[in-house]
Amino acid sequence: MRIDFIITELFVGGAERCLTELALRMTELGDEVRVFSIGSLPTGDRGALVKRLQASGIEVVSGNADSTRDVVSAYRQLRQWLTESKPDICQTFLHHANIVGTLAAKSAGVRNRVAGIRVAESRAFRCAVEKIALKASTSVICVSHAVERFAANRLGCPAAKLVVIANGVDTVHFSSAEPFDWSQIGWPTDAVVTLFVGRLHQQKGIELLQSEIDKLAPSGSDQRLLLVGDGPLRSELETWGRERGPQQVQLLGWRPDIASLMAGSRLIVLPSHYEGMPNVILEAMAAGKPVVCSRVEGSQELLKHDWDQQSFPAGDGVQMARLASHYLEQQDLALKAGTRNQSFVSQNHTLAGMVNHYRSHYQKLLDR
């Protein structure tokens, strides 16, 4: 098959990692793959996914659209790129790519246009625009059944168009990582760490971590809170962190060594207000760690084997802290929950399984 993947950007994130693994493994299976990023390509450590794609001989092209005024130019470039060498399948990932990529593919005469819905963000204008673009799609892949319901109810996608393919994770990478040495950031080597990994954005519910900091990491205890990520709230959170002090909470910004940080942590927490299927939770489970996750889209499908003990109602900081305290205070309980999580992911969310589902769907489209 000849597959073109189109994504909003290629920084290291959940959707971006999914695209990368899909592209690499499909290339290994003999498919011809190209990748188009609407935004500029990241460099340095943040360009790790771009480097992996290019090292495997995959063409990676950028529309360099880093602001709204650049979108029209990126659309024209993408349409020309698709017209010059029409793929069998055009697969888009994320909101902006679904809009720009689907419309460009239709204009270029690409027959099979597959959109990808990865988060259930319900802002009215965002949904209205994406709804228009999705009418031009051949099918829509959703990362969870909860997102499938969102796509049907809020985006107006007919049931016949919708397909659920859950995320996969590199189980070996996360299960075999060496634990991070906390002395590198001035903490005791045996610190009991609660880890948050994600975009520093209001979506992620970080205000709950702030409000419950004295329960997650009481001053003078061996417990610590670590925030890893970047985003619009970074400056505000850094100020808060300085006020609390580095022996209670630290913010490391974006990091390439997430597997090692997870391996060294007691617990991973994600208090999001909405998601699709949280990739960080999949990674934490693959690492053999317990999680405390808000009851958002996709979380029940990941935690159905331990729902009451690892999830809490979105926005309920008190319940979040109560669940977290069980694992922070009882290492044996944390180990048992982590083992259950790891077993569930290894059985249900491998990268090989994810790739097989995507390829099977593409083949069905081509066989019509």
CATH code of the domain covering residue 224: 3.40.50.2000
- Verify that 254 and 132 share a domain, yes or no: no
| Per-residue pLDDT at 125 | 94
Provide the residue range defining the domain that includes 291.
Answer: 171-348
pTM (predicted TM-score): 0.92
Tell whether 31 and 71 lie within a shared domain: yes
Place of tokens 């005469």: 109
Nearest to 78 by CA among 39, 141, 36, 22: 36
Minimal CA–CA distance to 136: which of 117, 159, 161?
161
Does 342 lie in the same domain as 241?
yes
* Interatomic CA distance for residues 347 and 335, integer angstroms: 19
Residue with tokens 């205070």: 329
Residues 201 and 219 in one domain: yes
Give the rounded distance of the alpha carbon of 48 from its chain centre. Answer: 16
Tell me which residue of 352, 368, 367, 365 sits closest to 115, measured CA to CA: 365
Q: Cα(205)–Cα(196) distance, rounded to whole angstroms?
A: 11
Please give the DSSP secondary-structure letter assigned to residue 38: S
Residue-level pLDDT at 12? 85
So what's the pLDDT on residue 210?
Answer: 98
Distance CA 142, CA 3 (A): 18
Q: Are residues 200 and 211 in the same domain?
A: yes
Same domain, residue pair 231 and 135: no
Q: Are residues 163 and 179 both part of a single domain?
A: no
Count of domains forming the chain: 2
* One domain for residues 8 and 152: yes
User: Are 302 and 360 part of one and the same domain?
Assistant: no
Beta-carbon contacts of 83 under 8 Å, excluding residues fewer than 6 positions away, are: 108, 109
Q: HSE on the CB side for 335, CA within 13 Å?
A: 3
Mean pLDDT by 10 residues, the chain (368 residues): 97 90 96 97 92 97 94 97 97 96 97 96 94 96 96 96 96 97 97 97 97 97 97 96 97 94 98 94 98 95 95 97 98 98 96 96 96
pLDDT at 53: 97
Residues 62 and 157 occupy one common structural domain: yes
The DSSP bridge partners found for residue 255 are none
DSSP-assigned states of every residue in 112-145: EEEEEE------HHHHHHHHHHHTT-SEEEESSH
CB 287 within 8 A of CB 262: yes
**Predicted local confidence at residue 45, as pLDDT:** 85
Question: Domain check: are 147 and 178 in the same one?
Answer: no
94 and 111 share one domain? yes
